[in-house]
Amino acid sequence: MAEYSRFESRVEVRPDDIDMNQHVHNSKYFDYVLAARYDQMERCYGMSMEAFLDRGYSWVVRASYMEHKRPLRIEDAAIVKTNIEEIKARGVKVAFEIHKESDQKLVAKGWLDYTMVDLDSGRPKTIPDDILKTYSV
CA distance 30 to 65: 10
Q: How confident is the model over 107-131, as pLDDT tens digits?
A: 999 999 999 999 999 999 999 999 9
Domain annotation covers residue 83:
yes
CA distance 125 to 76: 39
Domain annotation covers residue 25:
yes
Structural domain count of the chain: 1
Over range 89-108, report the average pLDDT.
98
Element (H, E) at 62: strand 57-68
CA distance 76 to 27: 17
Q: Residue 43 sits in a domain of what CATH number?
A: 3.10.129.10
Give 3-61 as a DSSP string: ---EEEEEEEPPGGGB-TTSSB-TTHHHHHHHHHHHHHHHHTTS--HHHHHHTTEEEEE
Note the pTM of the prediction, 2 decimals: 0.94
Q: How confident is the model over 4-57, as pLDDT tens digits?
A: 999 999 999 999 999 999 999 999 999 999 999 999 999 999 999 999 999 999
* SS3 label, residue 131: helix
Domain annotation covers residue 110:
yes
The pLDDT score that the predictor gives to residue 2 is 81
Give residue 96's domain range. 6-135
Domain annotation covers residue 1:
no
